[in-house]
Amino acid sequence: MKKEKLFKIGVLLLLVFLSLPCLANQSKGWEEDLAKKIAIATDYRDRNVKKFASHLADEFERDDELEQVRLIYKHLENRWTYRKDPQGYQHFAKASEMVDRGLAGDSDDFAIAIASLFRAMGKPARIAVAYKGDKIKHIYAEVFLPKEALKPYMKGYPSSIWWDWDQSGGWVNLDYLSGGVGGPFRGGDEVMFVSLDGGWWLVSRQEEW
């Protein structure tokens, strides 16, 4: 009787152990779903998105690549109509919809629009999702610029340009709520970066700084 009871307990513990990976995957499922939604919304290959991006690139063409990014950001910011999503509902408008129907939405939509436009211009761009636990705190865009484009600003504007470095350049913050290009990072301690093709990865923002 005692052996049978121990056997049942052992089987139960084994089932619990085997279920742990499944439970872990379920807890991380929101990240996969969110990355897919963002990838669908950032439709930078759309004809009208590419056309508008080409227009912006021509209108604000500059030898100084960071200055060009600033001018395009300012242009979009000035034309942007801020509209909140209904409370408790998060909707990601497609970049093509915003280009066709007017530049409007919340800060998440601004991130999707500006990242899509820069990507359509040929500049690497990504979406950053700042969160704490399983709660999303903020979503914003970043554009990658080569080190040569950022070097002139390293000494002259140390407090106004914020970026994350890798070996060849930096990701510059394009947050609608940070007061302009290169503003301070907002949100939680953890960040999920989403490529516009749906790939995603997690980092600690403190580690990346």
Q: Which residues in 84-196 belong to E strands, given as ranges? A: 104-105, 125-132, 135-146, 163-165, 169-173, 190-195
pLDDT category at 155 given cuts 50, 70, 90 is low
Q: What is the mean pLDDT of residues 112-135?
A: 92
pLDDT category at 95 given cuts 50, 70, 90 is very high
Handedness of CA 57, 61, 62, 63 (dihedral sign): positive
- Of residues 112 and 20, more confidence is placed in 112
Tokens of 158: 């140390």
Q: Which pLDDT belongs to residue 11?
A: 34
Is-contact 35 46, C-beta < 8 A? no
Q: Show Cβ contacts of residue 75 under 8 Å, excluding neighbours closer than 6 positions.
A: 56, 59, 60
Question: Virtual CA dihedral for 80, 195, 139, 93, nearest 10 degrees?
Answer: 50
* Fold of the CATH domain 31-208: C8orf32 fold (3.10.620)
For the stretch 12-51, pLDDT in tens is 433 333 333 332 333 457 888 899 999 999 999 999 999 9
Q: Which pLDDT belongs to residue 170?
A: 84
The answer, yes or no, to whether residue 158 has pLDDT greater than 50, is no
Is-contact 104 80, C-beta < 8 A? yes
For the stretch 73-89, pLDDT in tens is 999 999 999 988 777 66
Report d(CA 6, CA 37) in Å as an integer. Answer: 47
Q: Where are the domains of the chain?
A: 31-208
pTM of the complete model: 0.80
Encoded amino acid at 152, one letter: P
Report d(CA 101, CA 95) in Å as an integer. Answer: 10
The answer, yes or no, to whether residue 124 has pLDDT greater than 80, is yes
pLDDT category at 185 given cuts 50, 70, 90 is confident
